């Protein structure tokens, strides 16, 4: 009976998905940061050189992510079929937004005029939102489909974009106001809050043990390197401590890198499948059926 129950549990318990590899993860990693950077640039930057550099960096990030996911397809030219399902597919919406985004972003790089910079920022937010909905639309992966995953992807994308903008401002020696730094601190705090809410939601819903183990395992590092240390560095910049450019660059890198680490972990390592719940454990031949089971999950609703 014990061996039979173990075999059944192995067959129906959640398994780590293998369909989306590092190339698919890179689309979320680089694309989300690029979308957030476009929005930040349209709001916070006024100097032409810094604006041009930030927008160009954002376009490179988004293009890199899309190129990686394009190479993941077995027959890359079939990617054109993605444009056929705008009414039902968030992948199609992401692809359509990307076309408009590159058009507006290209004109913004050439002209550095608000007429094109502001639409590029709005399209960056739309691209980020589309990506968040793509992940949530995968209903077979509990860590992805949770409603709070959308807020988490948007929050980290905006924070990463702010981090990259901080790096651009630090390297270009552009003049930046304290409200930009304060805004980045606010985004860091929001991301930390959304992250905790997301983890709490997974626990409350009884997510797979494997997903919770992976996400809880990175939580301390994500909190320290993605939130505490960057916030302290920005506080030092606001306090006027010497080496402002270096501190700002370090804070931006930590915010962006920690977000990338989170998204890679979420897409590749914490992506355990739905699994099956059994109302009764079957038994071979005669005998009483075993109790209800939800192998590999945190608890089972009564």
Output the pLDDT for position 252: 96
For 172-217, the pLDDT digits (tens) are 877 778 888 999 999 999 999 999 999 999 998 888 888 999 999 9
Which residue bears the tokens 């983890």? 199
Output the pLDDT for position 275: 64
Residues 6+ apart with CB under 8 A from 142: 14, 202, 205, 207, 208, 211, 272, 274
pLDDT category, 88, cuts 50, 70, 90? Answer: confident
Range in 53-67, 68-82, 112-126, 160-174 the model is least confident about: 68-82
> Taking the model in full, what pTM does it have?
0.86
Residues 42 and 34: their CA atoms lie apart, in Å, by 12
Range in 61-75, 116-130, 178-192, 200-214 the model is least confident about: 61-75
Domain boundaries, the chain: 17-269
Cβ atoms of residues 290 and 5 within 8 Å: yes
Residues 149 and 151: their CA atoms lie apart, in Å, by 5
CATH number of 17-269: 1.20.1630.10
pLDDT category, 29, cuts 50, 70, 90? Answer: very high
């Amino acid at each position: 009976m014990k061996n039979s129950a173990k075999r059944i549990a192995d067959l129906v318990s959640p398994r780590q998905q293998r369909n989306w590899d590092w190339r698919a993860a890179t689309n979320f990693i680089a694309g989300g940061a690029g979308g957030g950077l476009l929005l930040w640039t349209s709001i916070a930057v006024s100097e032409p050189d810094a604006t041009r550099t930030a927008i160009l960096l954002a376009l490179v990030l988004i293009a890199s992510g899309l190129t990686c996911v394009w190479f993941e397809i077995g027959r890359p030219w079939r990617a054109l079929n993605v444009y056929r399902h705008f009414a039902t597919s968030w992948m199609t919406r992401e692809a359509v937004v990307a076309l408009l985004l590159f058009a507006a972003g290209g004109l913004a790089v050439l002209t550095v005029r608000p007429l094109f910079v502001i639409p590029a920022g709005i399209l960056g937010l739309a691209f980020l939102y589309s990506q968040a909905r793509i992940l949530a639309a995968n209903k077979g992966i509990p860590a992805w489909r949770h409603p709070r995953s959308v807020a988490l992807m948007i929050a980290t994308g905006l924070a990463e974009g702010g981090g990259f903008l901080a790096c651009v401002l630090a390297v270009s020696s552009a003049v930046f106001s304290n409200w930009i730094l304060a805004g980045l601190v606010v985004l860091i705090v929001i991301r930390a809050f959304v992250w905790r809410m997301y983890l709490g939601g997974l626990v409350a819903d009884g997510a797979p043990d494997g997903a919770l183990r992976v996400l809880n395992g990175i939580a301390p590092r994500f909190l320290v390197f993605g939130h505490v240390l960057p916030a302290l560095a920005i506080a030092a910049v606001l306090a006027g401590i010497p080496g402002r450019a270096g501190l700002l660059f370090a804070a931006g890198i930590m915010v962006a890198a920690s977000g990338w680490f989170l998204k890679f972990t979420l897409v590749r390592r914490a992506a355990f499948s739905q699994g099956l719940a059994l109302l009764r454990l079957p038994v071979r031949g005669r005998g009483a059926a075993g109790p209800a089971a939800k192998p590999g999950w945190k608890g089972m609703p009564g």
